[in-house]
């Protein structure tokens, strides 16, 4: 088993002892991506904008790893308020063409930097 650390400045920098993503045996595992704009460190406001930025960060990280959103096989979505589920779904659907990946979505009490959403993915290389 060979483990490769994936890192890019096109996704938010890590804020702890973890990697942005890891590749093992042809699979890419991303860390949770929050809606931080990588270039400025700013956090966008509103659930739709935050969902779009979080997904954009996941997409950028996957592309840096030599993968893409079309190769995502599983996502996990953490949201602050389950009442935002429909709005998140609308944005989420716009990032995938063809078949959707498997997904879990859970409401959580609190997320880093008090954002409204965090997403992670597992993708084929």
Catalytic positions, please?
105
Q: What is the DSSP string of 8-44?
A: -TTSPPPSSSS-SEEEETTEEEEPPB-SB-TTT--B-
CB 30 within 8 A of CB 124: no
Q: Which helix (H) or strand (E) holds 2?
A: none
């Amino acid at each position: 088993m060979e483990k490769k650390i994936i890192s890019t400045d096109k996704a938010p920098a890590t804020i702890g002892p973890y990697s942005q993503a890891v590749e093992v045996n042809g699979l890419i595992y991303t860390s949770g991506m929050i809606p931080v704009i990588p270039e400025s460190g700013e956090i966008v406001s509103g659930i739709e904008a935050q969902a779009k930025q979080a997904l954009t960060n996941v997409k950028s990280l996957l592309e840096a790893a030599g993968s893409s959103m079309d190769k995502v096989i599983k996502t996990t979505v953490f949201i602050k308020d389950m009442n935002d589920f429909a709005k998140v779904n609308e944005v989420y659907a716009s990032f995938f063409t063809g078949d959707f990946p498997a997904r879990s979505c859970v409401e959580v009490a609190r997320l880093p930097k008090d954002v409204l959403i965090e997403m992670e993915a597992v993708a084929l290389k």
